[in-house]
Amino acid sequence: MSGLTHAELVLIAGRWLRNTAGCSVVLEELCAATGNGENPDAIGWYCGQTLLVECKVSRSDFLADRKKPFRAEPARGLGIYRYFMAPRGLLRAEEMPPQWGLLEVSGRRVFLASGHEPKRWYPGEDPWAFKERFHDGETQMLLSAMQRIKVRVGATEFHSMLHQRLMKPAMPPSTAQADLLAAWGPLMEEKAG
């Protein structure tokens, strides 16, 4: 049909999560002990929300997916927002499980056929959101990714990055306060005088 492989779709899903959905953290095909057995093809985090993408290159794979325990019980699954991604024409929006979206790929472009529109906030009840999900599994995935980084760069460098670089304010508070006073000082004096 499209000639796309599963691996290619996963890369496209990761790109879509980073660029279109605006996710600051994206994990692709990360095998982690999530506690529910789910290892998504791609999952991303955007403003505390999780978006999960399952890639399908065949109808039989899509149909077999329904038998997974975390699909049968959606509260056991990962992702506040969930999508299937497939080559255009392989799947139809009306055959998606309740609350699941469909992302269709044509060439290198991704089209939202149905589902939550990324970066959109719904007033009141969001019809696409899974309120109940296996939140602990999402945390396990992040921790597993961090542990792998620690192994790659070494424990000393990892802790240095974490505590020295990430925890340090971008601008020391004293400098920020001094800059603020310097900027507003003349205006305040003018207003007082």
pLDDT digits (tens, 9 = 90+) for 110-141: 999 999 999 887 777 889 999 999 988 888 88
Residue pair 30/39 in contact by the 8 Å Cβ criterion: yes
Q: Provide the token pair at 145.
A: 């990714």
Q: Provide the token pair at 188.
A: 């305040």
Residue 1 pLDDT grade (very low, low, confident, very high; cuts 50, 70, 90): very low
Give the model's pLDDT for residue 133: 92
Give the model's pLDDT for residue 142: 85
Residues β-bridged to residue 13: none
Contacts (Cβ under 8 Å, ≥6 apart) of 70: 36, 37, 38, 76, 77, 78, 134
Give the model's pLDDT for residue 128: 94
pLDDT in tens, 68-104: 999 989 999 999 999 999 999 999 999 999 999 999 9
48 has a pLDDT exceeding 90? no
Residue pair 137/78 in contact by the 8 Å Cβ criterion: yes
Predicted TM-score (pTM) of this structure: 0.79
How many alpha carbons lie under 13 Å from residue 32 in its C-beta half-sphere? Answer: 23
